[in-house]
Every structure is written in structure tokens, then in C-alpha cells.
Amino acid sequence: MATQFITAVGRRKTATASVRMSVAPKSSIVVNGKSVKDYFKTNERAKVAEEALATAESAEHYAVVARVEGGGIAAQAGALRHAISRAIIKAEPATRAKLKTAHFLTRDPRAKERKKPGLVKARKRKQWSKR
């Protein structure tokens, strides 16, 4: 019997996470070949990545294999949470309300603003002198 996978993509800033989720007796999250604790060295980042499974109360039912690229560690954790949330909805449509109220389904649109010509950075200007 072939194992059925659920795939989803999540994004945050310039980070992208591709998730392949399957039903398993013991849960696990593997990110780029490492466990979630080893990849996101701090507990805060690992917790952000696992939040979607905890909110949906289905953490012990799925094995997640993720490929994450781009952005920084915090953005990658947010992208992974977004991808896992989307995959859970495909598997269990009833959990949509919980994940939506937790704002895990909304792609965070915040990104670095581009530098404008004539300015030092996006909004920073050179000091103006009257005389």
C-alpha cells in the first residue's frame, strides 16, 4: 500500500517552506534533514514551527518533512508554520476555524522596503541643514 502525502507551501518575507506531511503513529518534524530542535537552535523558533500542530491538536498524528530556504531563521520558522497549517487544512478541513483564529493561515505580508533614490535607506535621509 502506497503512503499518501499531503503537500503545502508556506511563505514569510523571503523564506519559503515546502512541506510533505504523512499520517504516522509517532509525530516528527524534520527540517532540511535535521530535527526541528537541531535546525532552529532556540526553543522559541522550534515552538513557532510546531505551533500549528499544537493548535490543531493533531501533533501526534503526522510526520512532517520540510524543505526550507531563503530568509533568516525567524522567517523560516514562520514560513514552516504557514506551510504546516495549510497541510493540516487539506487533511482535516474541520480544523480551519482554529487555525484561522490563531492567524496561521494568513501570509504575513511584511517585508523589507526597497531603497529609494536620493535617500540613504528606504526612508532615512541625510541631515538637512538650513545654513
Q: What is the mean pLDDT of the chain?
A: 92
The DSSP secondary-structure symbol of 103 reads T
Dihedral of the CA atoms 100, 84, 92, 24 (nearest 10)?
-150
Question: pTM for the whole thing?
Answer: 0.88
Q: In the predicted model, is pLDDT for residue 100 greater than 80?
A: yes
Closest CA to 58 of 89, 33, 104: 89
* Alpha-carbon span 58 to 109, nearest angstrom: 27
Q: What angle do CA 89, 12, 107 make, to 5 degrees?
A: 45
The predicted-structure confidence for 1-14, as pLDDT tens digits, reads as follows: 456 899 999 999 99
Kindly list the structural domains of the chain, giving each domain's residue range(s) and its CATH number in brackets, ordered by start. Answer: 5-101 (3.30.230.10)
